[in-house]
Amino acid sequence: MTSAIATKDKIRAQGLSLFYGDNQALFDINLEMPEGSITAFIGPSGCGKSTLLRTLNRMNDLIPNVTINGEVLVDGENIYAPDTDVVNLRKNVGMVFQRPNPFPMSIYDNIAYGPRIHGIRKKRDLDEIVERSLQQAALWDEVKDRLGKSAMGLSGGQQQRLCIARLLAVDPQVLLMDEPTSALDPISTLKVEELTQELKSKYTIIIVTHNMQQAARISDTTAFFLNGVMVEHGVTDKLFTNPTDQRTEDYITGRFG
Amino acid sequence: MDSRKGFHQSLEELQREILKMGVLVEEAIYLGVKSLANLDVQMAQNVIDGDRKINDLMVDVESACLRLLALQQPMASDLRVIGTAMKIVTDLERIGDHAVDIAKTTLRLSGDKLLKPLVDTPRMADLAKEMLRDALNAYVSHDVTVAEQLAKKDDVVDGLYKHIFNELQGMMEENSAHVKQGIMLLIVCQHLERIADHATNIGEWVIYMVSGDRKDLNV
């Protein structure tokens, strides 16, 4: 079975290089990430995959001595242009982290936090957003009777889905996921994976994962990185059954490392 | 450095088991046809009894493949090696069954006299056997060229089959008393023709295993 790949690019990295001081961490990355699909980044530790993910919503801005050359286009607009509204960018391109990081407040307030910042005040509107977001994150049924309780009381898997719901509440277009299941148990992992399949029709998803089977299970396209270089990018089915580059072959069959 | 050494050793073990199976199957073809040419009932019975070992080997390889799929989650060429192993053992097992059917013909003809000494049938058997050996050599040495050459040899086998078909048809038309044995010998040739097809299938799987491409050699 060949995965259907949407043709329109949602995000595109063009000639992207990144330096931490004098150390170059990314080398001339050219990569299109199609709308309405899941792109996985795989590669050994230190290969640059998380660094690249963070360039997609300018999270690297927060790190001193980072220099970025090239462009990242979201819907054709370069997000590194001087007039970019970074807050708005991060609303459109949200990120889920390795460890769930709920705010120390109620489940409801976690979800309502973003919409409130963006000016939504009416309780009825907020109620609707909270329910819709939790529904979309497949968490509603588990928490609907305890929305006022602290989010810190949820299990790890529930917390991660809460964080996804929190992103969805501000109506993003792209979800960046940085090893979103590495701290979760297998069942919670499967729930998050299942969730990505439901979300991808509406959102463009880019996921960094150390788990190659996870990349194979959930993504439509996969990019393999090594030492800051994108070695191969292609349809996931093909990359995991018959990769083009010998380095990809060696990595995914465990013949180096 | 290979970080999955144990797993890759298991893949090599699969290959050894398949070769073991290949040797038994090749011998079954040889003895099956020889038993027919000599109407040697004991030899035919040995072929029939020996099929069990071939079937057992197939089950062993299939089980090992399923275990590796479940426990090792193979990717890329490793995945293709396992998929190919599962397909090849099916072809080998079928070849074994054809050899058994040939041996059973020997039993059915026991006590009879052959219409004529078998010449082309053993030739066809030799060719089919040679194709099987080529297919297994291609498998072991990951040699796509050898695998691709099976297509040509299969054409030769098909040509021989047509020749024998015409010859037996003529004999049956001449004398209706020859029909029963004529049909049996024709079916034997059909088995040999199918054996050559299975060898060609193995060649196709070798090409897939090595290159990831699917190619039809039996056109």
Position A256 confidence tier, pLDDT thresholds 50, 70, 90: confident
Position B1 confidence tier, pLDDT thresholds 50, 70, 90: confident
> pLDDT digits over A27-60, tens only?
999 999 999 999 999 999 999 999 999 999 999 9
Mean of the per-residue pLDDT values for chain A? 93
Mean pLDDT over A75-89 rounds to: 95
Q: Does A242 touch chain B (CB under 8 A)?
A: yes
Position A3 confidence tier, pLDDT thresholds 50, 70, 90: very low
> pLDDT digits over A180-189, tens only?
999 889 998 9
Token pair belonging to A234: 């292609």
CB contact under 8 A, A241 and B7: no
Instruction: Report d(CA B18, CA B89) in Å as an integer.
Output: 7
pTM of the entire predicted model: 0.86
At residue B20, the 3 state secondary structure works out as helix
CATH code assigned at A25: 3.40.50.300
Nearest by CB to A254, from B4, B80, B211: name it.
Answer: B4
Instruction: Report d(CA B103, CA B77) in Å as an integer.
Output: 38
In chain A, the residue whose alpha carbon lies closest to the alpha carbon of B208 is A242
Query: φ and ψ at A228, to 5 degrees?
Result: 80, 0
Greatest alpha-carbon span in chain B? 71
CB contact under 8 A, A252 and B80: no
Q: Does A244 touch chain B (CB under 8 A)?
A: no
CB contact under 8 A, B212 and A242: yes
Instruction: Report d(CA A206, CA A179) in Å as an integer.
Output: 10
Q: Does B219 touch chain A (CB under 8 A)?
A: no
Residue A185 lies inside a defined structural domain of this protein: yes
Residue A243 lies inside a defined structural domain of this protein: yes
Query: φ and ψ at A166, to 5 degrees?
Result: -65, -40
| Domain extent at residue A176 | 9-101+172-252
CB contact under 8 A, B76 and A212: no
Amino acid letter, residue B31: L
CB contact under 8 A, B79 and A240: yes
Position A90 confidence tier, pLDDT thresholds 50, 70, 90: very high
Q: Which residues contact A111 (CB under 8 A, 6 or more apart)?
A: A129, A130, A133, A134, A162, A165, A166, A169
Q: Which chain A residues in 117-136 lie under 8 Å from chain B, judged by CB atoms?
A: none
Token pair belonging to B199: 């060898």
Q: ∠ CA(A197), CA(A201), CA(A204), 5° rounding?
A: 90
Q: Does B70 touch chain A (CB under 8 A)?
A: no
Instruction: Report d(CA A120, CA A111) in Å as an integer.
Output: 12
At residue A8, the 3 state secondary structure works out as coil
> pLDDT digits over B123-173, tens only?
999 999 999 999 999 999 999 999 999 999 999 999 999 999 999 999 999
Q: What is the pLDDT of residue B207?
A: 98
Q: What is the pLDDT of residue A255?
A: 87
Mean pLDDT over A206-215 rounds to: 95
Q: Which residues contact B176 (CB under 8 A, 6 or more apart)?
A: none
Residue A224 lies inside a defined structural domain of this protein: yes
Q: What is the pLDDT of residue B116?
A: 86
Instruction: Report d(CA B138, CA B92) in Å as an integer.
Output: 15
Does B214 score more than 90 pLDDT?
A: yes
Q: What is the pLDDT of residue A166?
A: 96
Does A208 score more than 90 pLDDT?
A: yes
Q: Does A236 touch chain B (CB under 8 A)?
A: no
Q: Angle at which helices B5-38 and B179-211 pack, to 10 degrees?
A: 160
Q: Which CATH class is domain B5-211?
A: mainly alpha
Position B33 confidence tier, pLDDT thresholds 50, 70, 90: very high
Residue A139 lies inside a defined structural domain of this protein: no
At residue B178, the 3 state secondary structure works out as helix
Map A162-210 to HEC letters.
HHHHHHHCCCCCEEEEECCCCCCCHHHHHHHHHHHHHHCCCCEEEEECC
Does A216 score more than 80 pLDDT?
A: yes
The full DSSP string for B41-78 is HHHHHHHHHHHHHHHHHHHHHHHHHHHHHHHH---HHH
Q: What is the pLDDT of residue A36?
A: 93
Residue A164 lies inside a defined structural domain of this protein: no
Q: Does A245 touch chain B (CB under 8 A)?
A: no
The full DSSP string for A85-108 is -HHHHHHHEEEE-SS----SSBHH
Q: Does B78 touch chain A (CB under 8 A)?
A: yes
Map B127-169 to HEC letters.
HHHHHHHHHHHHHHHCCHHHHHHHHHHHHHHHHHHHHHHHHHH
Q: Which residues contact A136 (CB under 8 A, 6 or more apart)?
A: A165, A168, A198, A199
Q: How many CB pairs under 8 A join A and B?
A: 42
Cα-to-chain-centroid distance, residue B192: 9
Let me know: does B193 contact B158? Beta carbons within 8 Å: yes
Does B38 score more than 70 pLDDT?
A: yes
Residue A62 neighbours by CB distance under 10 Å:
8
Residue A216 lies inside a defined structural domain of this protein: yes
Q: Does A243 touch chain B (CB under 8 A)?
A: yes
Mean of the per-residue pLDDT values for chain B? 96
Bridge partners for A40 per DSSP: A207, A222
Instruction: Report d(CA A215, CA A223) in Å as an integer.
Output: 10
Let me know: does A174 contact A93? Beta carbons within 8 Å: yes
| DSSP state letter for A23 | E
Position A4 confidence tier, pLDDT thresholds 50, 70, 90: very low
Q: How many domains does chain A have?
A: 1
CB contact under 8 A, A213 and B3: no
ipTM of this predicted structure: 0.78
Instruction: Report d(CA A56, CA A107) in Å as an integer.
Output: 28
Nearest by CB to B75, from A253, A256, A257: name it.
Answer: A253
Tell me what percent of the residues of chain B surpass a pLDDT of 70.
100
Let me know: does A215 contact A203? Beta carbons within 8 Å: no
Q: What is the pLDDT of residue A257?
A: 56
Q: Are β-strands A9-20 and A23-34 bridged in parallel, bridged antiparallel, or unpaired?
A: antiparallel
Does B95 score more than 80 pLDDT?
A: yes
Does A1 score more than 90 pLDDT?
A: no
Residue A165 lies inside a defined structural domain of this protein: no
Nearest Cα to Cα of residue B22 among B65, B61, B49, B48? B61
Let me know: does A78 contact A72? Beta carbons within 8 Å: yes
Let me know: does A82 contact A61? Beta carbons within 8 Å: no
Radius of gyration of chain A (CA): 18
